[in-house]
Amino acid sequence: GAVVSQHPSWVICKSGTSVKIECRSLDFQATTMFWYRQFPKQSLMLMATSNEGSKATYEQGVEKDKFLINHASLTLSTLTVTSAHPEDSSFYICSARDLPGLAVGGAGELFFGEGSRLTVL
Amino acid sequence: AQTVTQSQPEMSVQEAETVTLSCTYDTSESDYYLFWYKQPPSRQMILVIRQEAYKQQNATENRFSVNFQKAAKSFSLKISDSQLGDAAMYFCAYNNDYKLSFGAGTTVTVRA
């Protein structure tokens, strides 16, 4: 159990276009999902926290109009990179946690998607 | 804000030998969780081991064990009988409200 799936795993787009990445919890209800960005050989940097049915909370320095996050259901969150530019090229990873008190997998644990590699030409 | 420090960018170990990865963290909380995640070349994050701060006993998972020193805010990972499949980047992470703070990571290479 506790599987999180991201799609697409790899996307190439032209500069100026928008790209949507999906994050789905396949076998549990994710009240909260997190989006991270990772550059090669570096750590994961938290971009934003999304709660189902409410607006996402962005970390300092992350442009909310650039990185649109929607968490419309308990199993799906989407990250849209709007008007993408080459500097947005990166590896994006989502993670999710279940409903409070149910603690799938153990208290405090988050479950990660496979990641999505974005290349903007 | 919580900070997690991994002071070893790279570690190399001979197959079948033991390697220890260090991690320190800074927090004013008394109840929290600590994790070690493995990120192989596929870049899928894999949970290696978890430690609840209220537990004094060090967590173990097969060949992986931790040395949790709460007062010193230290959380090291020991990989015993290292295998080629252990080669990956390892991240120490702190969690007290389901928001993970990661260290910079340690790249582990295993020599055959």
CB spacing of B43 vs A115 below 8 angstroms: yes
- Greater confidence, B93 or A100? B93
Give the residue-averaged pLDDT of B78-86. Answer: 97
CB spacing of B99 vs A108 below 8 angstroms: no
Look up residue B59 and give its amino acid.
A
**pLDDT of amino acid A84:** 96
Q: Which of B33, B89, B104 is opposite residue A108, by nearest beta carbon?
A: B33
Residue A81 near residue A16 (C-beta atoms within 8 A): no
- DSSP secondary structure of B75-93: EEEEE-S--GGG-EEEEEE
CB spacing of B35 vs A95 below 8 angstroms: no
Query: Could you read off the pLDDT of B15-69 as tens digits, one per residue?
Result: 999 999 999 999 998 888 999 999 999 999 999 999 989 888 999 999 999 999 9
Query: Could you read off the pLDDT of A10-67 as tens digits, one per residue?
Result: 999 999 999 999 999 998 888 889 999 999 889 999 999 998 888 899 999 999 999 9
Residue A91's nearest CA partner among A66, A117, A68, A119 is A117
Query: Could you read off the pLDDT of A67-117 as tens digits, one per residue?
Result: 999 998 889 999 999 999 999 999 999 999 876 545 445 556 788 999 999
- Greater confidence, B1 or B110? B110
**pLDDT of amino acid A104:** 47
**pLDDT of amino acid A35:** 96
